């Protein structure tokens, strides 16, 4: 990874500076930012002291940039004045350099310990190129893991909180620099907003949300899980395993550390963050394929944005996950359609990427396999209609046991009506189911007799007509009788025998039908048209006609 050309400034308390003798910037690069400043007042606590331990250093945030600095005690000046010091400052306007780069510069001796002997005050100091620090897993023995676990846990707790201060020891008992180990173990992205200081830092203008101080202070309090995180990180590092540098938050770090273990636990016992961690890990495909785990993840996603984001990412990342989630959600949708069970949440349908066309196609497949809709309500009827409009091969004969609802749907919706007629014409033979549906269709609309007369065997009509007539009012009976008398079964007397008299309407209502349709009904019963017309004009005695008809029949 390439580095940065950083403007630099040298502040001294003894030698002559650009502004005059002592206490000011001795040299700086031409593009040293004015907002950072060059005076003691502007630089403040960064340059306002002589480090008591001979050295102070750190990295802090100012606006969008990062300031790396180191102060060292210097010898007496040429006049024998003691208490002198030198501060070396570097400015990174990208804000990308951090603790690792600070420690690497210090380790490599690239911060100045003193002014060069032949130097002079200048505003033309060349920028210093700073490379992004390499990262290597530190070799740690068990004692060092034990010693570093509490301070690392405190830092992790502060990072999880998003803001605060915490302390790290300068060195471990074995003499290792604690910051070198800790910031090698932690992912770069996780510590991008962390500042660090060794030495006084009051009023230094640091805007970093998390501030780490190298001192002998006790580490920040940490919970059991932070301690577990810290120990697991250190133990992994001791084996040469480092968390990826792009892990930008503690939860993603958890996914790297614990997802495999959590994937073996009962999913119902996992927290939302743990669910999200497993979904983000390589264990997600196998984990989601176990039992009802996918259903649980979908339900959790509906109420938790973190789980939702992780599940969406898993669906996008792994085709096996997308296929399994899609199958579970589609199955739940079909159960809702066929069995009336509670369907999946809208979010689950969206995550699975299931559209109306997918559901319509699946509906057709299920019906062709023999599955039947338990309740053909309004919503299911609309789905049937949409499936047919999309050209789905959806068998309507055998679609549902709710024959009346199917008859109503076919009567009211042209696309369903046309599909039913077409399918009926292709049907291989007549079944009891055909007869039951035809009866309901005739009750819904007697016009079905004309639509289906080419495909309905005439011999099966009498019982169907009587069944339908028994369920009709006066207007329906009259309409059905007229349809029979004008249809392919005309001339057999079924309009009178099976429909009008088969309806078992009260005598007065039958007389109404006879009064309006008598000629047509008599012709259908085989009477010569002239006699039928004459009889209908004279109207005769309807009661005697009814008695004679029934006796003759």
pLDDT digits (tens, 9 = 90+) for 97-138: 999 999 999 999 999 998 888 888 999 999 999 999 999 999
Helix, strand or coil, per DSSP, at residue 216: coil
Instruction: Give residue 18's pLDDT band: very low, low, confident or very high (50, 70, 90).
Output: confident
Q: Is the pLDDT of residue 80 over 50?
A: yes
Instruction: Enumerate helices (H) and strands (E) in the chain, giving the number of each.
Output: 24, 10
- Between these two residues, 480 and 201, which has the higher pLDDT value? 480
Going from the C-alpha of 547 to that of each of 362, 418, 481, 543, the distances in angstroms are 58, 43, 19, 6
Q: Is the pLDDT of residue 549 over 70?
A: no
Rounded to an integer, the average pLDDT of 484-505 is 89
- Between these two residues, 549 and 178, which has the higher pLDDT value? 178
Rg (alpha carbons) of the chain, rounded to whole number: 44
**Which residue's entry shows tokens 């910051």?**
179
Q: What pLDDT does 550 receive?
A: 52
Rounded to an integer, the average pLDDT of 436-464 is 92
Rounded to an integer, the average pLDDT of 324-340 is 95
- Check residue 312 and report its DSSP letter: H
The pLDDT > 90 percentage for the chain reads: 67
Contact 120, 35 (CB under 8 A): no
Q: How many of the other CB atoms lie within 10 Å of CB of 70?
A: 24
Q: If 0-12 CB within 10 Å is exposed, 13-18 middle and 19+ buried, where does residue 50 land?
A: middle
Q: Is the pLDDT of residue 287 over 60?
A: yes
Q: Of all helices (H) and strands (E), which one includes residue 62?
A: strand 55-62
Helix, strand or coil, per DSSP, at residue 211: strand
Which tokens in the block code for residue 79?
Answer: 């006049």
- Check residue 499 and report its DSSP letter: I
Contact 294, 325 (CB under 8 A): yes
Rounded to an integer, the average pLDDT of 500-514 is 90
Q: What pLDDT does 247 receive?
A: 93
Rounded to an integer, the average pLDDT of 83-108 is 94
Q: What pLDDT does 1 receive?
A: 46
Find, among 222, 88, 104, the residue nearest to 155 by Cα.
222
Q: Is the pLDDT of residue 531 over 70?
A: yes
Q: What pLDDT does 64 receive?
A: 86
Q: How many of the other CB atoms lie within 10 Å of CB of 234?
A: 23
Q: Is the pLDDT of residue 253 over 60?
A: yes
Rounded to an integer, the average pLDDT of 518-527 is 86
The 10s digit of each residue's pLDDT in 40-51 is: 888 888 888 888
Query: Mean pLDDT highest for which of 198-202, 399-403, 429-433, 528-532?
Result: 399-403
Rounded to an integer, the average pLDDT of 378-390 is 96
User: CA triplet 326, 330, 331: central angle to 5 degrees?
Assistant: 115
What is the C-alpha to C-alpha distance for residues 205 and 428, in angstroms, rounded to an integer? 88
Q: Is the pLDDT of residue 2 over 80?
A: no
Find, among 284, 285, 241, 277, the residue nearest to 259 by Cα.
277
Contact 519, 481 (CB under 8 A): no
DSSP assignment of 401-456, as one string?
A: S-HHHHHHHHHH-HHHHHHHHHHHHH-SS--HHHHHHHHHHHHH-TTHHHHHTTTS
Strand blocks (E) in 469-544: none
Average predicted confidence (pLDDT) for the chain: 90
Q: Is the pLDDT of residue 83 over 80?
A: no
- Between these two residues, 229 and 172, which has the higher pLDDT value? 229
What is the C-alpha to C-alpha distance for residues 348 and 505, in angstroms, rounded to an integer? 54
Q: What pLDDT does 405 receive?
A: 96
Instruction: Give residue 473's pLDDT band: very low, low, confident or very high (50, 70, 90).
Output: very high
The pLDDT > 70 percentage for the chain reads: 95
Q: Is the pLDDT of residue 540 over 70?
A: no
What is the C-alpha to C-alpha distance for residues 518 and 496, in angstroms, rounded to an integer? 9
Q: How many of the other CB atoms lie within 10 Å of CB of 451?
A: 17
Q: What pLDDT does 107 receive?
A: 94
What is the Cα 101 distance to its own chain's centre?
A: 38
């Amino acid at each position: 990874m390439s580095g940065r050309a950083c403007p630099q400034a040298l502040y001294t308390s003894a030698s002559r500076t650009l502004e005059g003798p002592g206490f000011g910037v001795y040299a700086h690069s031409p593009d040293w930012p004015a907002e950072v400043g060059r005076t003691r007042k502007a630089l403040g606590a960064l340059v306002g002291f002589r480090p008591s331990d001979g050295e102070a250093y750190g990295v802090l945030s100012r606006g969008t940039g990062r300031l790396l600095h180191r102060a060292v005690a210097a010898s007496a000046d040429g006049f024998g004045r003691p208490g002198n010091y030198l501060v070396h400052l570097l400015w990174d306007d990208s804000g990308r350099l951090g603790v690792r780069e600070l420690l690497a510069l210090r380790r490599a001796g690239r911060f100045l310990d003193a002014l060069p002997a032949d130097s002079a005050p200048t505003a033309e100091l060349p920028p210093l190129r700073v490379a992004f620090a390499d990262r290597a897993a530190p070799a740690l023995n068990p004692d060092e893991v034990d010693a570093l676990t509490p301070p690392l846990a405190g830092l992790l707790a502060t990072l999880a909180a998003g803001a605060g201060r915490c302390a790290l020891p300068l060195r471990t008992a074995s003499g290792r620099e604690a910051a070198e180990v800790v910031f090698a173990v932690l992912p770069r992205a996780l510590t991008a907003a962390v500042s660090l200081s060794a030495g006084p830092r009051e009023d230094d203008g640091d805007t970093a949300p998390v501030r780490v101080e190298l001192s002998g202070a006790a580490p920040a309090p940490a919970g059991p899980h932070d301690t577990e995180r810290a120990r697991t990180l250190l133990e992994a590092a001791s084996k040469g395993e480092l968390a990826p540098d792009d892990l930008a938050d503690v939860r993603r770090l958890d996914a790297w550390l614990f997802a495999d273990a959590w994937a073996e636990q009962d999913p119902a016992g996992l927290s939302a963050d743990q669910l999200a961690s497993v979904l983000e890990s390589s264990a997600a495909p196998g984990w989601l394929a176990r039992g009802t785990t996918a259903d649980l993840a979908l339900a959790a996603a509906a109420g938790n944005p973190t789980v939702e984001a992780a599940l969406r990412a898993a669906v996008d990342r792994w085709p096996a996950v997308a296929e399994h989630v899609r199958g579970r959600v589609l199955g739940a949708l079909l159960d809702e359609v066929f069995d009336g069970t509670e369907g999946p949440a809208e979010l689950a349908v969206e995550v699975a990427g299931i559209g109306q066309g997918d559901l319509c196609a699946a509906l057709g497949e299920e019906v062709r396999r023999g599955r039947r809709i338990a309740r053909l309500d309004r919503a299911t009827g609309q789905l049937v209609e949409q499936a047919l409009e999309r050209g789905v091969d959806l068998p309507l004969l055998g679609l549902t046991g709710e024959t009346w609802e199917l008859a109503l749907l076919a009567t009211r919706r042209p696309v369903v009506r046309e599909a039913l007629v077409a399918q009926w014409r292709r049907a291989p033979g007549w079944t009891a189911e055909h007869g039951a549906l035809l009866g309901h269709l005739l009750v819904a609309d007697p016009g079905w007799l004309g639509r289906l007369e080419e495909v309905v065997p005439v011999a099966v009509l009498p019982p169907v007509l009587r069944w339908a007539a028994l369920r009709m009012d006066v207007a329906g009976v009259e309409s059905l009788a007229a349809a029979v008398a004008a249809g392919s079964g005309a001339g057999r007397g079924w309009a009178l025998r099976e429909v009008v008299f088969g309806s078992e309407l009260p005598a007065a209502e039958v007389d109404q039908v006879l009064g309006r349709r008598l000629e047509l009904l008599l012709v259908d019963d085989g009477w010569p048209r002239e006699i039928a017309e004459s009889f209908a004009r004279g109207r005769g005695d309807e009661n005697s006609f009814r008695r004679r008809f029934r006796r003759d029949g």
